[in-house]
A and B are shown apart, each in its own frame.
Chain A
Amino acid sequence: MNLFELIRISIRALKANKLRSILTMLGIIIGVAAVIAMVGIGNGATANITNQIKGLGSNLLIVTPSQTNSGGVKGAAGSSNTLVMNDLQKIQTNSPAVKMVAPFVSTNTQVVYGSGNTSTSIAGTTDAYAQIRNVTLARGRFITSDDVNSYTRVAVVGPSVVQNLMGDANAEIIGKTIKLKNIPFLVVGVTASQGTSGMTNNDDVVYIPITTAQDRLIGNKYLRQIFIEATSADMMTTAQDQVTNALRSSHNLQTSKANDFTITNQADILATMENVTKTLTMLLGGIAAISLLVGGIGIMNIMLVSVTERTREIGIRKAIGAKGKDILAQFLIEAVVLSILGGGIGILIGWGGSILAGKALSMATSVSMTSVFLAFGFSAGIGILFGVFPAKKAASMDPIDALRYE
C-alpha cells in the first residue's frame, strides 16, 4: 500500500477521535509556540538594546574623569575634576585614529520664556557634538565654532522644551529669547525628536556653547565628559590607546600612576550586551525546548494508551489482511502527523504571541526563520522518535488475542 494511502488511513483515524488528537497535540503546540515566541522576544530585546547603544553614535569612545579620592573616601564616578579643554588639543594632535572630539559639560537649571518655564538639563558643547552623537536639526542650526570662540549666548532646544515652554512642540521658537538662570539666550535651532534612551529623555535638553556654559552657568573650566568618534570600527582599540596616551601626557601622569580618567568603549559595551541578551535568549529557548520534549513524551503516552484502547481495532485490521508493517506505518504516521500538525499550529501561535508581546512591551520582536525550521524539524523528529515504540507494540500484536480483547 502506497504512502499516500497510509497517510489517508492515519488522518482518518485521527479525525475519528478529534478530541483526543487535539489534546495530544497540545503538548507540542505549547512547546513549539513557547520556543518560537521566546526566541522572537529574545531577538527583539537584543535588537532593541543594540539599537539603543548604537543610537548614541558610532565608533564612540566616552572619556569621564575618575572618582575623587579624598583621604580614602571615594566620591561618585565622574566626580573629580581632571579633564580640561587643553586635553582636546592633545588628543587631536596625537591621535590619528580619532576622527572627531567634542567636550561636554552639563547642569540643571530653570528655563523661562514669557509665562512658561521648565526645569531642564543644559548641555554645553561644540559643533562636533552634533555629528558624533547623531543629533539632527528639525529647524534652524546647531552651535558653531564661532559661537564657541565668541562665547555667544545662543541656544538649541529639544522639542520637549518647546512643548513645556510654549504648550506646542511645533511652535515657532527660533529667534525668540529664553532665559537660563535669568541670562537671556537667543534660540537658533530645534533638534529633531530622538526619543528616550533608558532613563534619559533626549528631547528635554538645551544645547549652548561650552565656553558660555562654563563662563556663565557653571563657573569652572572642568569637563564632565569628552566624546570621541574613532575613524572606523576596527580602529576603536587603537583610538582608545592613543587617547589614553594623549591624556596621560596632558595630565603629566608618571608611568607608575594610574589613569585619572576612564574611557568607555562603545564597541565593548555593545559586545557585552549582545552576549548577555544572546545568552538569555538561548536560556529562554532552552527552557522552551524542554517543554517541547515534554510534549513529545505526551505524544508517546497518548499513542501507547491509544494502542491499548485500539487493540480490538488492530486485531480486526490484521484479520482483514493488514501486515505488521502496515500497522507499524499507520501508528507511526499518526504520531508524525500529530506532531507536525502540532508544530505548525505552534509556530503560528508562537509567531502571533511574539508580535503581541512586542506590542505589549513596545518593542519590535523578530521571529527567526532558523527557529521556525528548527522547531518544525524538532517536532517531526519527536513524532518519529516517540511514535516508534507504541507503533512497534501495535504491529507485534497477535490478532487472535487482540480480537478477544475487551
Chain B
Amino acid sequence: MISLKGITKIYATGDIQVAALRGVDLQVDEGEFVAITGPSGSGKSTMMNILGCLDRPTAGEYFLDGADVARATGNELAIIRNQKIGFVFQGFNLLPRTTALENVELPMLYAGVPAKERRDRAIHSLESVGLGDRVHHRPKELSGGQQQRVAIARALVTQPAIILADEPTGNLDTRSSIEVMAIFQKVHQEGNTILIITHEPEIVQYTRRVIYFRDGSVKEDDKVENPRDAALDIQKMNVAI
C-alpha cells in the first residue's frame, strides 16, 4: 500500500538548512495498523505531512496504492488526498457552525458525488462510529470524543486507501481516548489500513506495529507485543464505576 524509498525533507530558513527527514525507507502493507512514535523534533510530523500528500519530499520515492505521489502536481495531490487518504487531526478540525452530516459529506462534495448518494453514505458512516442519532448536531454541541468520531466518519466516507491520524487522542480524556481507539480497532478489523502518529505509549498498545523515529530516520520497527483490546478496556471501566 505504502512504499517509501530514501525520503528526504530539507527545510531551508535563511542560510540554515534543517534536515527533518534523512533517507527514510518504509513499507506498509494493506490492512496494517501502524503507530509512528518518537520524541518531538524526530520528524514524525514531517513524515505525516508527506504521507498525507500535504507536502512534497525534497528527494526520494513515494508510491501510494500504486500511484507515484512524489512527483504529482498540486492539483493531482488534492485529488489523491480526496480519494486515497482519510485524515484525523488532533484538533478534530471540523467546520464550525456546520452539522456533523455536512462535515462528513464534505469530501464527497469535492469528489463530485451526487447529493442523495452523498447523504446516504454520510449517514451510514456516522452510524458506523455510533453517532447515527446526532447527525444534525453542530461541533459545539458534541463532546471532544464525539467530535473526533465525526472526524473519523469523515475520514472513512471516501473509502480511502489509508487513514492517517495525527495525535488523535491528544485533546481527549482517558475514557474518550480509549473509546476512539476502540473505533480505530473496529475500522481496522473491517480491513482498513491505519497509521497513527502518537507520543503516548498507552495508545501504541492498541495498535499492531510500532515505528520509532529519531533525528529524521527510523530507529526501530517492531510488532506490538500483547496488543490491548480497547472495547474490552471500556467494559472493564464500566464495571469498575
- Which residues of A approach B to under 8 Å, CB–CB? 1-2, 5, 9, 12, 16-17, 312-313, 315-324, 326, 399-400, 403
Contacts and interface: CB of A to CB of B under 8 A. Distances in A.
B55 A400 contact: yes
Given A320-B81, A320-B87, A323-B75, A5 B97 contact: no
A5 B78 contact: no
A321 B81 contact: yes
A22 B31 CA distance: 50
A326 B82 CA distance: 13
Per DSSP, chain A at the interface is helix
Nearest to B46: A400
B78 A322 contact: yes
A5 B97 CA distance: 19
Contacts of B154: 320
Most chain A beta carbons < 10 A, residue from B83, B96, B109, B158: B109
Contacts of B93: 312, 315-316, 319, 403
14 contacts: A2-B112, A5-B109, A5-B112, A16-B95, A17-B97, A312-B93, A319-B93, A320-B82, A320-B106, A320-B154, A321-B79, A323-B78, A403-B54, A403-B89
Contacts of A312: 93
Nearest to B48: A400
B52 interface: yes
B102 interface: yes
Given A312-B93, A322-B78, A326-B110, A12 B54 contact: no
A41 to B, nearest CB: 41
B58 interface: no
Nearest to B107: A320
B83 A12 contact: no
Given A316-B93, A316-B94, 7 more contacts: A2-B112, A5-B109, A317-B106, A319-B93, A321-B158, A322-B110, A324-B75
B49 interface: yes
Contact of B98 (A16, A315, A323): A16
A316 B54 contact: no
Contacts of B191: none
A38 to B, nearest CB: 38
B238 to A, nearest CB: 34
Nearest to B87: A319
B43 to A, nearest CB: 14
A2 B115 CA distance: 12
A90 to B, nearest CB: 87
A295 to B, nearest CB: 25
A313 B95 contact: yes
A319 B52 contact: yes
B75 A399 contact: no
B130 interface: no
Contacts of A17: 97
| In the complex, the 5 A-B pairs of residues with the closest C-beta atoms, listed nearest first | A321-B82, A16-B97, A323-B78, A321-B110, A320-B107
A12 B102 contact: yes
A319 B110 contact: no
Given A1-B110, A399-B54, A400-B55, A318 B49 contact: no
Contacts of B109: 1, 5, 9
B170 interface: no
Contacts of B54: 319, 399-400, 403
Nearest to A313: B95
A321 B107 contact: yes
B142 interface: no
Contacts of B111: 321
B41 interface: no
Nearest to B75: A323
Contacts of A2: 112
A1 B96 CA distance: 22
Contacts of A313: 95-96
Nearest to B92: A316
A316 B154 CA distance: 12
Interface in B67-107: 74-75, 78-79, 81-83, 87, 89, 93-98, 102, 106-107
